[in-house]
Amino acid sequence: MDIFKIEQLNELLDVKGLHHVTIYSPTSRDSTDNYQKDKINFKNQLQKAASALNKMYGMSDTEASEYLQPGYDLLDNPDFWRHGSDGLAYFQSSKGTNIKTLPIEIVEPSTYVGKNFMLRPLMPLLNADGRFYIINLNLKGITLFEATEATISEILLDDEEFNQISDYTKFIENQQHTGARLGHGGSGGSVHYGQGGGNDSEKEIQQFFYKASKPIDDIIKCDPLPTILAGVDYLIPMYKTASDYHKYAEEGIQGSFTTEDAAALHAKAWEIMAPKFDEERDERFGKYAELANGDWASSDTHMVIKAAFTGQVETLFVQKDATIWGIFNEQLYELEIEPAATPETTDLLTEAAVKTIMQQGKVYQCTADEMPEDGRVIAAIFRNPVVP
C-alpha cells in the first residue's frame, strides 16, 4: 500500500472540473466469491450517482451513463476486485477519474455529487488521531505497517536493495572478494544471527539496519506518527541505534513475526497504543471544557468554520455523518449556509476538517453523544483568541 499523503488530498481539492462524483464502497482483501458482492455494491452506487447527476445537473440517463463509463469499466476489471483493500474511493469530474484503494473499512457504501469531492471519509488516513506505525524487525526482511484500531496495512518501500540480512551479507562478501573496503571490519564467511553471534555478526546486522532504516526514516519524517518497534529483544536496541529517528514508543513488542503474523502483531500493538491515544483524546476534550466559556474555544458554527478556513483551529471536533451545506467566500470572509446541497455549495464540515489537517491541526470525528457540547455538530479549540 502507498501512503495517502496530504499532497494527494491537495490534488483532489484542486480539481476545478464540473460534476464531481465521489463514491466510497467496501471491498475485500484477496477475495474469492466475495468480490461479486463488492461489484454489486459499487454498481449500485454508480446508479445512485447517475440519478443524482440527473437531478442536480439535468443529465439524461444516457448522458449520465456515458459520463460514468470509467466506473463501469472498473466493474469489468476482475483483477482489481480479486485483490482489493478494505475500501474503494472513486473520484470523477469533467477533468478525469481518480481511483484509490483504501486501508480503512467502509461499512456502508455512499455516493456524493456536487461542486467538490467528498473527502471526509479520508480523514483517518491523514489525521494523527488513532494512526501509528509498526516496524517489524526480522533478519529475513524489515516490514513497515501503518495501523489504526481496526486496520493494518503494509507500506511498500521503494528502496529494497537490501531487503534481508542475507542480501547485505552477499554484498559484503562480494566487496571483500573484489578487494573493496566497506569502512568497517566485517569478515568473510558465514554470518550468525542472534545475540551470541559474535562481534562480526553484530556489526553486519548493525550495518544492515543502518542501510534498511533510511527509507523508513524518510517516510516517518514525512508523516510523523507514533511508532512502535517489534522484534526479538536484541534487534530492537540495535535498530534504534542505527536509525536517525528517535521518537519510538518506549515499549516494544517482543517476538519474531512475519508478514503472515500481521493480525497478531496488530493486536499486540494496539494493546500498547490504545491507552496512549485515549489519554491524548481525553486531554483534548478536557482542554475544550476548560476553555469553552472564553475566546479560545467555541461551538458556534459560523465562528468555528471561519476560523478553520483561516488556519486558526488547533483541534476540531466534528460530528460523524453530519453535513452543513454552504459557501465560504474567503475574500469577503462571508459564510452562507444553505438547507440542502446545490451545485454551488460544499459540505462546510468537511472543508473545515481538511483545512485544519492541512494546517497541522488535529480532527476528532465524534458521534452525536461524544461531541463536547450537546446538540452541536462542530466545535474547536483555537490557536489564538477568536471573537465574533
Give CA–CA dist 36/78, Å, rounded: 10
Residue 313 DSSP class: E
**pLDDT band, residue 149 (cuts 50/70/90):** confident
Single residue among 85, 120, 155 that ends a domain in this structure: 120
Residue 178 has pLDDT above 80, yes or no: no
Q: In this predicted structure, what is the pLDDT of residue 184?
A: 41
- Residue 284 belongs to some domain of the structure: no
SS3 assignment, position 138 = coil
Q: Is residue 20 located within the same domain as residue 105?
A: yes
Residues 108 and 141 in one domain: no
Please indicate, yes or no, if residue 218 is contained in any of the structural domains.
yes
Mean pLDDT of the 219-230 span: 89
User: How far is it, in rounded angstroms, from Cα 381 to Cα 289?
Assistant: 10
Q: Smallest Cα–Cα separation from 223: which of 87, 357, 33, 70?
A: 357
Position 124 scores a pLDDT of 77
* Lowest-confidence segment of 205-214, 281-290, 316-325 by average pLDDT: 205-214
User: How does residue 168 score in pLDDT terms, banded at 50, 70 and 90?
Assistant: low
Domain co-membership, 274 together with 177: yes
Does residue 71 sit in the same domain as residue 204? no
Residue 287 pLDDT: 97
Mean pLDDT of 112-129: 83
343 and 250, same domain (yes or no): no
Residues 218, 274: one domain? yes
For residue 15, pLDDT beyond 80: yes
What is the per-residue pLDDT for 268? 96
Residue 321 has what pLDDT?
85
Out of 86-90, 192-196, 237-241, 306-310, least confident range: 192-196
Evaluate whether residue 305 is within a structural domain. yes
Q: Is residue 97 part of a domain?
A: yes
Q: How confident is the model at residue 170 (pLDDT cuts 50, 70, 90)?
A: low
Residue 231 lies in a domain: yes
pLDDT band at 161 (very low <50, low <70, confident <90, very high): low
Q: How many CA atoms lie within 13 A of 242 on its CB side?
A: 21
Please report the pLDDT score of residue 111 as a whole number: 96
For the segment 56-62, the average pLDDT, to the nearest whole number, is: 95
CA distance 319 to 365: 6
Q: How confident is the model at residue 160 (pLDDT cuts 50, 70, 90)?
A: low
Nearest to 114 by CA among 23, 11, 10, 4: 23
CA 45 – CA 99 distance, rounded (Å): 14
Task: Provide, rounded to the nearest whole percent, the portion of the chain with pLDDT above 70.
Answer: 85
Kindly state whether residues 150 and 268 are assigned to the same domain.
yes
Do residues 69 and 93 both lie within one domain?
Answer: yes
Whether residue 214 sits in one domain with residue 101: no
The least confident of 52-56, 70-74, 152-156 is 152-156
Q: Containing domain of residue 61, as a range?
A: 6-120
Domains held by the chain: number: 3
**Which domain CATH number covers 156?**
3.30.420.60
CATH code of residue 57: 3.30.960.10
At 354, which CATH number? 3.30.1330
Q: Collapse the DSSP code of 5 into the 3-class scheme (helix H, G, I; strand E, B; otherwise coil) and give the result.
A: coil
Last residue of a domain, one of 278, 310, 330: 278
**274 & 136 share domain:** yes
Q: What confidence score (pLDDT) does residue 121 get? A: 86
Same domain, 70 and 202: no
Instruction: Answer yes or no: are the C-beta atoms of 97 and 70 closer than 8 Å.
Output: yes
Q: Are residues 302 and 178 in the same domain?
A: no
Q: What confidence tier does 205 reach under pLDDT thresholds 50, 70, 90?
A: confident
Is there a domain that residue 388 lies in?
A: no
In a domain, 285, yes or no: no
* Mean pLDDT score across all residues of the chain: 85
How much is the pLDDT for 146?
A: 87
Q: Which residue has the higher pLDDT, 383 or 170?
A: 383
pLDDT value at residue 296: 97
Confidence of residue 185 (pLDDT cuts 50, 70, 90): very low
Q: Which residue has the higher pLDDT, 194 or 159?
A: 159
Mean pLDDT on 173-194: 44
User: Does some domain include residue 77?
Assistant: yes
